[in-house]
Structures are given as C-alpha cells and as structure tokens.
Amino acid sequence: MIFIALGTNLPSQHGTPVETLKAAVFEMEAHGMEIMLSSRMWLTAPVPFDAEQPWYHNAVVAIATDLSADDLLTQMLAVEEKFGRVRSIKNAPRVLDLDLIAYNDKIIHDGERLIVPHPRMHKRLFVLNPLAEIDKNWLHPKVGQTVQEMIDLCDNTQQAKVLAEGLYDKPI
C-alpha cells in the first residue's frame, strides 16, 4: 500500500485549509495518483508546538499508481508547487504539505530527497491517527510495529481531534 499524508495550516487559492485539502486530492489524481482510501480530516497542533502558528488540518490517503517512488515524489512536489507551497524555514506554516509515508512496504533511502517510510512518521500522531483510520494494522517495515502500536508509544502531549467533515467526497 502507498500512503501519503496531507497537511495545511494556511488558506490557499482554493480557500480554507479544508477546501485546500479537498482540492489537493483531486489534483493528486490529475498527477497519476488514484485515491483508493481516505481518512477523515484531523485538526492538530503544530509539532513542535508553537502557540503562534495556526493548527493544521491533516489527513492520509492510500493511493494506487504506476509511478516509481522517485517519480511519485516528483509529482507530489509539483502538486505542492501548484498550490503555492513555498519552502522557507523548517516547521514553518504551509499552504500544502504532501509527505510520502510508505511505498509498498519498501525501505528506500536515496539521499535526503527520498526516505521511505517517512523518517518521523512513527512519532507523529498527526500522521498515525489518520493512518489508523485506513489501516491500523499496517506494519512499519523498518520499526516493525503496527500503526496502533506506534500510536500507543507516541508522546501524549501531541494534540489532535477529528473534524466532522471527510476529506474525499468522490465515491471510491
């Protein structure tokens, strides 16, 4: 299974963070990523916590694609750029963030550009909680733990709550 995490804490040309994430999944499909499953949207505090930053809207999707991991990352970066993503300082607020969380249970380390599974995903509730909605029993190929086991080991100071609205309205 291929998992991509989506996040935003700024409005975009598509509207609010909720509208931005919904538009992003349709743009992802236009870039060769077929959305198979989607979590609900989660509202999460920034990690590391910063009271000056707006909270994030996060979700995870499972996709199908013929793209290699490297080509998929290139397409994800193109979607971010189309949405106006500007990379400045680490952990800065962002219009759209797409992270390749897992690629068919492969372990890939191609410099700093492509590291799969995502190197911090197992410590981030803003990834794990939405991922658990898709597959709580998915086994991290490097850490050797299920999503639920990783959630249980996470720092419980991370704040997250489910939003009532789902991410992907198109019938799957």
What is the full per-residue pLDDT of the chain (172 aa) written as tens digits?
999 999 999 999 999 999 999 999 999 999 999 999 999 999 998 887 778 889 999 999 999 999 999 999 999 999 999 998 777 667 668 899 999 999 999 999 988 889 999 999 999 999 999 999 999 999 999 999 999 999 999 877 788 888 866 676 554 3
Q: In the beta sheet, which residues pair with residue 37?
A: 62
pTM score, whole prediction: 0.92
Question: Domain total for the chain?
Answer: 1
Q: How distant, in Å, are the alpha carbons of 20, 88, 93, 112, 125 from that of 17?
A: 5, 19, 12, 28, 19
For residue 112, give the CATH number of its domain: 3.30.70.560
**Domain assignment present for 65:** yes
| Residue 66 belongs to a domain | yes
Give the pair of three-digit tokens for residue 73: 């990352």
- In this prediction, residue 171 carries a pLDDT of 44
Q: Tell me, what's the pLDDT at 172?
A: 39
Look up the domain containing 17 and give its range: 2-164
Any idea which residue has 């189309």 for tokens?
82
CB count in 10 Å sphere of residue 83:
20
Does 71 fall in a domain? Answer: yes
Tell me, yes or no, whether 170 lies in a domain.
no
The predicted pLDDT at position 109 comes to 92
What is the C-alpha to C-alpha distance for residues 90 and 80, in angstroms, rounded to an integer?
Answer: 16
pLDDT of residue 164: 60
Residue 172 lies in a domain: no
